[in-house]
Amino acid sequence: MTILARAVEAGRRYGDVLALDRVSLDIRAGELVGLLGPNGAGKSTLINLFVGLRRPSSGTVELLGGSPTDPARRRAIGMTPQETGLPESLRVGEIVDFVSAHFPDPVERGELLARFGLEDLARRQVGGLSGGQRRRLAVALAFAGRPRLVFLDEPTTGLDVEARRTLWDGIRSFQQEGGTVLVTSHYLEEIEALAERVVVIGHGRVLADDTVAAVRDFVGVRKVSLTAADLPELPGVLGSEHRDGRIELLTTDPDRLVVELVRSGAPFSGLEIRPTTLEEAFLALTATSGQKETAHA
């Protein structure tokens, strides 16, 4: 399958900060790839390397088989950065026309706006849009030039549930028509809802690159929840949380945890064991990576 973007052992340093550490990644035509990681993991840096806004300090990055800084290649991609400043006094339709004029075969204005639920706002000045509407417009603009590959950096930040779903539909329909997308998100249900493949990044490194289901299996974390006044320290607990009067414990070995719990003699009730969400899997992954780092230090 055609590789549209490729990073090979790519590293990026900002002074003393190693934002990306030997990242290798291929994005193939037709894929919708979710890039998941906590604040400061290196997601935006990786996108900036792919779109040619930054150069790698080491390793190589290719876009459409060549340099990401080549204007012809950049014209074939779309991008929505985390923050966008759109001119307040222009109307939505005017902005779409302005952006579309940069491309040889743009999407028709009405079609583009309809795809992202903005069809009734064409005559509205950007200054009068809500935050969510602005965000949807910024995302829609990434698709204006019929790109082969789109990079979306946290596209649904600040959107309510309905607006988020409209945006997901727009992104999905682009992929169903053959488009390719790399999307970063803090909303883990978003990656689950959108992407077949998830790349987990933490501390500038790729921690996992697989299907959402496989990442969960790979981590194998289970959640043990129970009601108890207090608990002693138990072995194999990766994390714990108090929620709605219950205690939730994350572990890769729930059987042993339950044995130890009973042995401790601490009174408890309402024991439940269940698989984790992607978010919990992800937290466990990044925690494991941090432990490895410490062990090597």
Q: Which amino acid is at 275?
A: P
CB neighbours of residue 132 within 10 Å? 18
User: CB-wise, 15 or 245, nearer to ligand ATP?
Assistant: 15
Regarding 166 and contact with ligand ATP (CB under 6 A), the answer is: no
User: CB-wise, 53 or 231, nearer to ligand ATP?
Assistant: 53
Regarding 44 and contact with ligand ATP (CB under 6 A), the answer is: yes
* Structure token pair of residue 107: 């999407």
* Structure token pair of residue 52: 């040619």
Regarding 43 and contact with ligand ATP (CB under 6 A), the answer is: yes
What radius of gyration do the chain's Cα atoms show?
22
The nearest distance, CB 250 to ligand ATP, in angstroms, is 22
Regarding 11 and contact with ligand ATP (CB under 6 A), the answer is: no
The nearest distance, CB 208 to ligand ATP, in angstroms, is 15
Which stretch in 33-41, 63-71, 121-129, 280-288 sits in contact with ligand ATP by CB under 6 A? Answer: 33-41
Regarding 290 and contact with ligand ATP (CB under 6 A), the answer is: no
User: CB-wise, 3 or 17, nearer to ligand ATP?
Assistant: 17
User: CB-wise, 117 or 155, nearer to ligand ATP?
Assistant: 155
Q: How many residues bind ligand ATP (CB under 6 A)?
A: 12
The nearest distance, CB 84 to ligand ATP, in angstroms, is 14
The nearest distance, CB 164 to ligand ATP, in angstroms, is 17
Regarding 206 and contact with ligand ATP (CB under 6 A), the answer is: no
Give the residue, chosen from 11, 23, 36, 42, that forms a contact with ligand ATP under the rule CB under 6 A.
Answer: 42
Regarding 19 and contact with ligand ATP (CB under 6 A), the answer is: yes
Regarding 89 and contact with ligand ATP (CB under 6 A), the answer is: no
Regarding 58 and contact with ligand ATP (CB under 6 A), the answer is: no
Binding stretches for ligand ATP (CB under 6 A): 14, 17, 19, 37, 39-45, 82
